[in-house]
Amino acid sequence: MRTDYGNASGMRATDHLTIAGKSFTSRLLMGSGGYSSQQVMMESLEESGCEIVTVAVRRINLQAESGRNLSVQDLLRAKSYTLLPNTAGCYTAEEAVFTAELAREALETDWIKLEVLGDRETLYPDASELLRATETLVRKDFVVLPYCTDDPVLCMRLADRGCAAVMPLGAPIGSGQGILNPYNLDMIRARVALPLVLDAGIGTASDAARAMEHGCDAVLLNSAVSKAGNPALMARAMRQAVEAGRAAGRAGRIPAKTLAEPSSPTPGLARRS
């Protein structure tokens, strides 16, 4: 199958990520929490090449600060990042809707990463509350990007309710376990036509590449970079992994086999008589 990959620069120029009619050259989305300092955060974001950065509405100061230090959102806007506020820390649909409305007023964006948690230890989403919040926010003209489990049926229901993308976890938030159930990811990809963003569980660059090879359109991560020994270096690795995984997924891997197969043809080989 022919692709539009002439070279690396051509790939980035033509293979854009499009969500709700807006296009981005990077398929890596980054979080802004957990860094040791704002400087480390900004260096890491730059190395990642990302364009979309998530901000936890309930954990940042949404008002302009009067001191010398800029707020996180001011720093990100100064570098022209697209802000994606999230509803982290919400446990009911009502809480999540209120937080989304607060974000829209303060940050002047209709985009929201919707999180409605159901358990404080696993941080797994509450499916019923998530669906309720989605219905309300879509009616209020939000662009909803829901964090959800890797349940194909739930992803289909979210798509039916008007989400702009689905964002299943690969593993629990911050666990670094990578993709625990690639079979479910494949089923979601086959059944949901919306952009598919792997959200949560990434531990290292190979996890990000694997997600893209399984047909994800993008990867969203935070802890894998912010808590790395060298965040900026890990951010660069994630950028390269997402690009490599995207190319490999589109190129098409060879079938996995149980026995060896020579890479060179055997007919016509010179043999000793």
8-state DSSP, 57: G
Using the predicted structure, report yes or no on whether residue 14 has a pLDDT greater than 80. no
Burial of 61 by CB count in 10 Å (0-12 exposed, 13-18 middle, 19+ buried)? exposed
- pLDDT tens string 143-168: 999 999 999 999 999 999 999 999 99
Of the candidates 211, 208, 217, 216, which has an alpha carbon nearest to the alpha carbon of residue 240? 208
Using the predicted structure, report yes or no on whether residue 189 has a pLDDT greater than 80. yes
Using the predicted structure, report yes or no on whether residue 270 has a pLDDT greater than 80. no
Active-site residue, selected from the candidate residues 113, 140, 227, 257? 113
| pTM over 0.85, yes/no | yes
Using the predicted structure, report yes or no on whether residue 57 has a pLDDT greater than 90. no
Residue 259 covered by a domain? no
pLDDT score recorded for residue 154: 98
Total domain count for the chain? 1
Provide the residue range defining the domain that includes 133: 15-249
Residue 272 covered by a domain? no
Residue 4 covered by a domain? no
Q: What is the CATH number of the domain that holds 96?
A: 3.20.20.70
SS3 120: coil
Residue 222 covered by a domain? yes
pLDDT score recorded for residue 160: 97
Average pLDDT over residues 219-240: 98
Using the predicted structure, report yes or no on whether residue 73 has a pLDDT greater than 90. no
- pLDDT tens string 89-141: 999 999 999 999 999 999 999 999 999 999 999 999 999 999 999 999 999 99
Of the candidates 146, 77, 142, which has an alpha carbon nearest to the alpha carbon of residue 109? 142
Which of 66-80, 175-189, 246-260 has maximum average pLDDT? 175-189
**Region for 49 from its dihedrals, namely left if φ exceeds 0, alpha if ψ lies in -120 to 50, beta otherwise:** left
With beta carbons less than 8 A apart as the criterion, state whether 83 and 43 touch: no
Residue 22 covered by a domain? yes
Residue 5 covered by a domain? no
Residue 153 covered by a domain? yes
pLDDT score recorded for residue 266: 62
pLDDT score recorded for residue 261: 84
Give strand pairing partners of 220.
Answer: 29, 199
Q: Is 113 annotated as catalytic?
A: yes
Residue 210 covered by a domain? yes
Using the predicted structure, report yes or no on whether residue 88 has a pLDDT greater than 90. yes
